[in-house]
Amino acid sequence: MALDFLEVCPTPDHLAAYVSGKASELDSDRIERHIDSCEKCLVVLSQLERRQLEQLRQTFTDPTPFPHAEVTALLKAQELAIAATRSSILSSSPDSEELNFQFSEGQLVGDFRIVRTLGHGTFGRVYLAYQLTLRRYVALKMTKLRSQESSLLAQLDHTHIIRIYDERRADSSSAAILILQYVPGGNLQQVLDHCRSEANPSAVTGPKLYEAISAHLDEQESVVTADPGRVPFSYGDSVLPTAWIGARLADALSYANLTVLHRDLKPANILLDANGNPFLADFNLSFGDELDGVRPDEFFGGTLPYMSPEQMEVLLGTREAESIGPPSDVYSLAILLWELAHGTRPFPEFPDAKDVRDRTLKMFDSRRTGEISVCSAGDVASRLDTVLSRCLSPDPSLRPSAGQVARTLYLETFPPFRELVSPTDAWRRTVLRWPLAVSLTLGFVPNVVLVVLNMIYNMSFVSGMDMKALARQQWNIVAISFAIGSLYLLRNSLPILWTVQRRTAMHLCEEERHSLIQRCLNRSRLDYLIIVLIWSITGLVYPCWASVAGTHPVSVDNYVAFMTSQSIFGLIAGSLTALAINLIDTNCLLPHLMQYGTPEGLPRRLNAQRTWTDVFVASLALSPILAILRLALLGETESGTVLFLCVMSLTCLGIGMSLLPRIRRALDILNVVARNLRDLPAAMEQFEYGGSLSQRPLTPEKPANASTT
């Protein structure tokens, strides 16, 4: 009998038929519409989903209150479904257990209707299923092993780790049904196979990744489609998609390694959604320290081409399984990423070896030497290879952590920051190659030029003196004072410049690197203060020295003129030098240091640096005003003198203003990186960097069309 109600709650018989899958399509549709509008029924279903059966029995002991009849029917239907599933599992013999797990399309297993088989392996079979009560697609993993995968994955809650929703286990059987998050884009192994099946096999570029995922979605008849405008599909080479995927996997691995090791990282265990987002899956062979009574060798696993040297030592019997740590997962991830970037794995695999042990020995020897042929072209590619080469170090202690790898790769996929770290323009490349020479040049040239201009200007209002002797005396004082100031500034700057020039920042401990970042931020303001101070002191000392020595007696008017001109020229020299140093610090030196880690409170310090930059520019803007005031107060009315000071001040102001946009843009980029590295995609969307990539927020994926069932 068909149901004619929408407002009245379903009867026990109708609910039992619906949950067991025996209701007609019309009845099921009307029941679903009723459940959508009935808050009490939704509460019951959510409680049943969490399997709080005993609590429900205790709550609804009185037969009269709503929804006692519905609860009774749902409990009865669910218990019948579980009993039927358990009976089918327990009725099988151990030898035929695997055969019984081969469910057919459309088969009802408890609350799940089987759609199709997604894959199978030595340790289990995976199905796409539709959950009737919650109306969602899930992956059912059927395994005949006594696996503790569910207890491991239940601890993990990360965007790029496949979530486990539930586990159904037969009490007296080794069988388990894991209910997992379903992502529709296939896995990385299918992407690699797609690239290798073409006429010209190559590495995984953005367009090829899009083609592979789209082909898989079409094959699965999914209503979800891949958007070719999304990152990483829009990257035209193979390096940036690799960095984009690798950053997310390394971040997930860093999170997982706090409690569990994966130990079987390979392309087949990296699932993809329709937008190319990767997910770590299949922790079946993992080992966690928090699992009581579990031996490391019981869960030791791996796939030979992706194994670390220490995993191979365990296979060869020369190492204990419990000594395997997170660096082993980093090593396997590096092999996987190398294969994505280059199309081949970094080490030979000796397919002609006489047996597995001989092959393992040869592969172990090749990994132990650590000889990798770097075949990349371009700066970004070479930097990616450098990172992966460090991850492939034979010594686990020399490998970076998964968190460090994630940070480096995230930054590789942020175009503005990548532009700072690996510049294409000549001036930035020169700074990174010769930071010490460039810093010395920027420190001395503005000051030397302004010293010469200052001497020319001073001679215009000094009379009755030996000009050559005056110039020689002034040069001596300037040389002494600037030598002292330069030594002090070099003492602060030399560790930074030496580290950048020798490319040793990655090898520094976190405390040392953070100290260098702080020094780099202080550099320009120290230059400004010390240079202005030196010029001002020179203006005070020189007239006194000349008068005391008796060689060049200086009148009070000339004394004031010397002092004020030195102060104004010093303000200009200090501001120009500070802006030039600030330019190379924010555009070259700081990015180089920040790519390996940032200290706490860096955004606040970067904001302070922006304030100091404004101070430098304001000082330049103030200098023409001070010069005109000086001329007016001292009564200098010669047009040549007035024109000289005005032109010089305005020229220096123009130079400073031309540097300001580059400094501010670099500070904006560094602020994005310092504030929220893990959420760089969202940060890039807010940051207007003028690139061609469109970073739109990811929209929730629709489930595959129910008609496929």
Assigned domain for 132 exists: yes
pLDDT band per the 50, 70, 90 thresholds, residue 76: low
663 contacts 393 by C-beta, under 8 angstroms: no
Closest CA to 230 of 685, 704, 705: 685
- Find out whether 42 and 15 touch, Cβ atoms under 8 Å: no
What are the phi and psi torsion angles at 126 (to 5°)? -120, 135
Helix H or strand E encompassing 619 = helix 602-634
| Residue 482 vs residues 102, 158, 581: alpha-carbon distances, Å | 84, 56, 17
Look at residue 691 in the predicted model and tell me its pLDDT: 38
Confidence check: pLDDT of 616 > 50:
yes
Residue 568 lies in a domain: yes
User: Contact 329/303 with Cβ under 8 angstroms?
Assistant: no
CA distances from 672 to 414, 491, 629, 665, 682 (A): 10, 30, 43, 11, 10
Cβ atoms within 10 A of the Cβ of 441, count? 12
Q: Are residues 396 and 452 in the same domain?
A: no
Segment 506-522 shows an average pLDDT of 87
Give the mean model confidence (pLDDT) for residues 154-175: 77
Does the pLDDT value for residue 489 go beyond 90?
no
> Under a CB-based contact definition with an 8 Å cutoff, are residues 389 and 373 in contact?
no
Cα 323 from Cα 36, distance rounded (Å): 53
Q: Evaluate if residue 149 carries a pLDDT over 70.
A: no
Contacts of 629 (CB under 8 A, 6+ apart): none
- pLDDT exceeds cutoff 80 at 518: yes
More confident residue, 206 or 629: 206
In percent, the amount of the chain with pLDDT more than 90 equals 20
> Does the structure show a pLDDT above 50 at 515?
yes
- The whole-number pLDDT of residue 634 equals 65
Q: Where are the alpha helices (DSSP H) in 276-325?
A: 309-316
Domain match, 50 and 157 both:
no
| 302 vs 116, more confident | 116
Q: Would the pLDDT of 607 be above 80?
A: yes
Give the pair of three-digit tokens for residue 469.
């002797």
pLDDT at 84: 45
Q: Is the pLDDT of residue 530 over 80?
A: yes
pLDDT above 80: residue 172: no
Residues counted in the chain: 709
Integer Cα distance of 700 and 633 in angstroms: 71
Residues 480 and 405 in one domain: no
Contact status, residue 451 vs residue 538, Cβ threshold 8 Å:
no
> How many of the other CB atoms lie within 10 Å of CB of 98?
16
162 plus 275 within the same structural domain: no
Query: What's the chain's Rg over C-alpha atoms?
Result: 36
Same domain, 105 and 141: yes
Which region among 49-63, 453-467, 529-543 has the lowest average model confidence (pLDDT)? 49-63
Per-residue model confidence as pLDDT tens digits over 223-250? 677 777 777 787 778 888 999 999 999 9
Identify which has the larger pLDDT, 496 or 65. 496
603 is a domain residue: yes
Among 442, 425, 599, 411, residue whose Cα is nearest residue 523: 442
Return mean pLDDT, the chain. Answer: 75
Bridge partners of 571, per DSSP, are none
Quick one: tokens of 600?
Answer: 């706490």
Highest mean pLDDT among 166-175, 291-300, 547-556: 166-175
* Residue 703 belongs to some domain of the structure: no
Residue that finishes a domain, picked among 37, 64, 85:
85
> Which residue's structure tokens are 């009269």?
64
Distance CA 2, CA 23 (A): 10
Domain that holds residue 296: 188-413
Contact 340, 203 (CB under 8 A): yes
Among candidate residues 150, 152, 144, the one with its CA nearest the CA of residue 121 = 144
Please give the angle made by the CA atoms of 178, 183 and 184, to the nearest 5 degrees: 125
Tokens of 646: 């005005």
Please check the confidence at residue 177 and state whether its pLDDT lies above 90: no
Q: What pLDDT is stored for residue 659 in this prediction?
A: 94
- For residue 425, being part of any structural domain is answered with no
Q: Is the domain of 17 the same as that of 111?
A: no
Q: How confident is the model at residue 692, as a pLDDT? A: 32
pLDDT confidence band for 611 (50 / 70 / 90): very high
| Confidence check: pLDDT of 507 > 90 | no
Decide if pLDDT at 606 tops 50.
Answer: yes
Give the pLDDT score at 427: 92
H-assigned helices in 20-137: 25-37, 39-49, 53-59, 68-90, 97-100
**Do 536 and 592 share a domain, yes or no?**
yes
pLDDT of amino acid 628: 76
Res. 477: pLDDT tops 50: yes
Q: Are 158 and 256 in contact (CB under 8 A)?
A: yes
707 or 501, greater pLDDT: 501
- How many CB atoms are closer than 10 A to CB 321? 19
User: In this predicted structure, what is the pLDDT of residue 630?
Assistant: 73
Q: Is the same domain home to 107 and 74?
A: no
Looking at the structure, do residues 118 and 50 belong to the same domain, yes or no?
A: no
- Asked whether residue 87 carries a pLDDT value surpassing 70, the answer given is no
Most confidently modeled range among 116-125, 170-179, 697-706: 116-125
Residue that terminates a domain, selected from 85, 117, 146: 85
Q: What pLDDT does 5 receive?
A: 41
pLDDT of residue 514 exceeding 70: yes
The whole-angstrom separation of Cα 619 and Cα 569 is 11
Distances (CA, A) of 35 to 56, 69, 75, 463, 615: 18, 15, 16, 101, 65
626's torsion region: left (phi>0), alpha (psi -120 to 50) or beta?
alpha
Give the pLDDT score at 665. Answer: 94
Domain for residue 617, yes or no?
yes
Among 12-21, 590-599, 662-671, the least confident range: 12-21
Taking only the tens place, the pLDDT of each residue in 364-419 is: 998 888 777 555 544 456 678 888 988 999 999 989 899 889 888 888 888 788 88
Same domain, yes or no, for 146 and 213?
no
**pLDDT, position 31:** 73
What is the predicted pLDDT for the residue at 339?
A: 92
Q: Judge whether residue 122 has pLDDT over 70.
A: no
Higher pLDDT, 506 or 399: 399
Q: Considering only 226-230, 436-440, 510-514, 695-699, which range has the smallest mean pLDDT?
A: 695-699
Burial class (CB in 10 A: 0-12, 13-18, 19+), 45: middle
**pLDDT at position 688:** 41
Cβ neighbours of residue 577 closer than 8 Å, sequence gap 6 or more: 442, 443, 446, 447, 527, 528, 531
pLDDT, greater one: 133 or 155: 133
When pLDDT is averaged across residues 691-695 and rounded to a whole number, the result is: 33
Quick one: three-class SS letters along 241-298? HHHHHHHHHHHHHHHHCCCEECCCCCHHHEEECCCCCEEECCCCCCEECCCCCCCHHH
Asked whether the predicted pLDDT for residue 287 surpasses 60, the reply is no
* Between residues 25 and 317, the one the model is more confident about: 317
Domain assignment of residue 221, yes or no = yes
- The domain boundary, picked from 52, 85, 118, lies at 85
pLDDT, residue 147, reads 53
Q: Does position 307 have pLDDT exceeding 60, yes or no? A: yes
Tell me how many degrees the CA angle 670-671-672 measures, rounded to the nearest 5. 90
Do 200 and 347 fall into the same domain?
Answer: yes
Q: Angle CA(182)–CA(185)–CA(186) in degrees, nearest 5?
A: 85
Residue 62 has what pLDDT? 41
The whole-number pLDDT of residue 248 equals 93
Q: Are residues 463 and 527 in the same domain?
A: yes
Is 441 inside any structural domain?
Answer: yes
Confidence band for 39, pLDDT divided at 50, 70 and 90: low
User: What's the CATH number where 164 sits?
Assistant: 3.30.200.20
Q: Looking at mean pLDDT, say which of 143-152, 442-451, 583-592, 642-651 comes out highest.
A: 583-592
Number of Cβ atoms within 10 Å of the Cβ of 276: 23
- State the total domains in the chain: 4
